[in-house]
Structure 1
Amino acid sequence: MKGPRPCKDRMGFSNRSFRVDTVKLQHRYQQLQRLVHPDFFSQRSQTERDFSEKHSTLVNDAYKTLLAPLSRGLYLLKLHGIEIPEGTDYEMDRQFLVEIMDINEKLAEAQSEAAMKEIESIVRAKQKELTDNVSRAFEQDDFEKAKEILTKMKYFSNVEEKIKLKKIPL
């Protein structure tokens, strides 16, 4: 086994389409892991075991990146030379920011499982809508629109994390 080559392409993701068949993606992931997983290299040389570990890590990272719409979209933007800098707001419109504030306030005030489920449902619906919109933006090669939508998706992803944390009993 040789060491991994530097490559921008993740798991044969050369068509650069936002739409991904997750069943095929999972199948490809499993195929690649059968080839490179460290468990299959336990009796090999240290160099081969190290290469196997590096390959396996790359395959895992690629799978995680391509599986989630937000990370997949950010990866596609990066392939086109566009990045959304961390910790910056991408010229978000006031109405959207008010919507996020309202959801965060509802989340902070939520005291029942029903209230949490309602917020979760709202966020899930918004993420689905944004995922559909970003898919269309990529299909039309409208990378600025995709960037704007992905920034909104990041906000909702942060809300999803807050929901998960609030659900965990301390």
Structure 2
Amino acid sequence: MQALNTLRCSCTSRGFRNANTLLGNTKCLQNVLPRTYCSTILDTAFTFNIKGALVTRGCFGTTSQLLGCFKSNHTIVYPNSLSRTFCTVSETGSCWRCGAPLHLTPAFFCPACEVIQAPEEHANYFDIMDCDKSFAVDTQRLQKRYLHLQRSLHPDKFSRKTQKEQEYSEIQSALVNKAYKTLLKPLSRGLYMLELGGVHLEEGTDISADPGFLLEIMEINERLEQTQTKEEVNSIGTSIQGRVEDLTEKINASFRKGDLQSAKVLIVEMKYFANIQEKVKERLSVMAV
């Protein structure tokens, strides 16, 4: 407890002058104090506003945030949060051309000379698309952000610029495309969030799936193959869409609770339904010919 009180004092009196040391002390205490203490310490240590840069703890995924002019990568586990929560603090970068500080993460353009910047190495798709690190993404806002970025970053706008600017434009534009497509659909968004949390779907995930569920999937596929009319195919498609919407709500609830393993099981089920949805589209396409 004495060590905890000492660190709290350090947070208020010396945090601004020696933040790197503070984070190092916090990491050491993490190994000897209960996790609830560590959470309290970090709640204190990560709420400073240094040089206009507000520092907050991310709820999920890898975050890149400003904390003065130093750099530290720090992994923290909170007892009542997600099973894997990453908090990455990155130094304020500078423009490759004029040297002006870049206050945003990721920074697409220099605020001083307005030249395009290199992609932020540690920025994740949620950072790029400026949306909450949540499974419940506002898709309309996501689309607006995508259109705005593509208008600004499209390579056609940089055809008369320097070679470096053209290269950065191509990389940034492709990265925005990938981020948008990944976060737009629930399945790819969920898989990405699992990846950020260090959870991956192994090959042959159907082996661990519920036998009753697998039997249901087989029956739906057989019924789809035997359908003769568009009405029947559309009926199957509507039914599957309802199941996907139900799974989406359950997956969102699992992520909010930090239960990545439950989210993983539900996402595996969603993969099967997404596969059937693709087959429905193909079947309707053939019938339309």
**Which residue of structure 2 aligns with residue 9 of structure 1?**
124
1:139 & 1:97 partners in 2: Cα distance?
27
TM-score (normalizing by structure 1) = 0.92
**Which residue of structure 2 aligns with residue 135 of structure 1?**
252
Mapped contact 1:8–1:79 kept (Cα < 8 A): no
Kindly report the root-mean-square deviation, in angstroms, between the aligned alpha carbons of the 2 structures: 1.7
1:22 positional shift: 1.1
Mapped contact 1:107–1:163 kept (Cα < 8 A): yes
Mapped contact 1:90–1:151 kept (Cα < 8 A): no
1:19 positional shift: 0.8
1:85 positional shift: 2.5
Mapped contact 2:129–2:146 kept (Cα < 8 A): no
List 4+ stretches of structure 1 deviating above 3 A.
12-15
Cα deviation 1:45-80 (Å, max 9, x = unaligned): 232112101100000100011110011111111111
Bigger relative contact order, structure 1 or 2 (CA pairs below 8 A, ≥6 apart): 1
Q: 2:209 aligns with which of 92, 113, 128?
A: 92
Residue identity in the other structure for 1:61? K
Cα deviation 1:122-164 (Å, max 9, x = unaligned): 1101101111110111111110000000000001111111112
Cα deviation 1:6-33 (Å, max 9, x = unaligned): 2351125574211111111112112222
Match status 1:26 vs 2:143: yes
Residue identity in the other structure for 1:9? N
Sequence identity (%): 42
Q: Larger Rg: 1 or 2? A: 2
Residues 19-168 of structure 1: pairs in structure 2 closer than 5 A: 19-89=136-206, 91-168=208-285
1:90 positional shift: 5.7
Residue identity in the other structure for 2:161? R
The alpha-carbon distance between structure 1 residues 138 and 90, as it changes in their structure 2 partners (threshold 3 A), is farther
Q: Secondary structure at the match of 1:168?
A: helix
The alpha-carbon distance between structure 1 residues 8 and 79, as it changes in their structure 2 partners (threshold 3 A), is farther
The alpha-carbon distance between structure 1 residues 2 and 13, as it changes in their structure 2 partners (threshold 3 A), is closer
2:131 & 2:238 partners in 1: Cα distance?
34
- Structure with bigger helix share is 1
2:123 & 2:270 partners in 1: Cα distance?
23
- Structure with bigger strand share is 2
TM-score (normalizing by structure 2) = 0.56
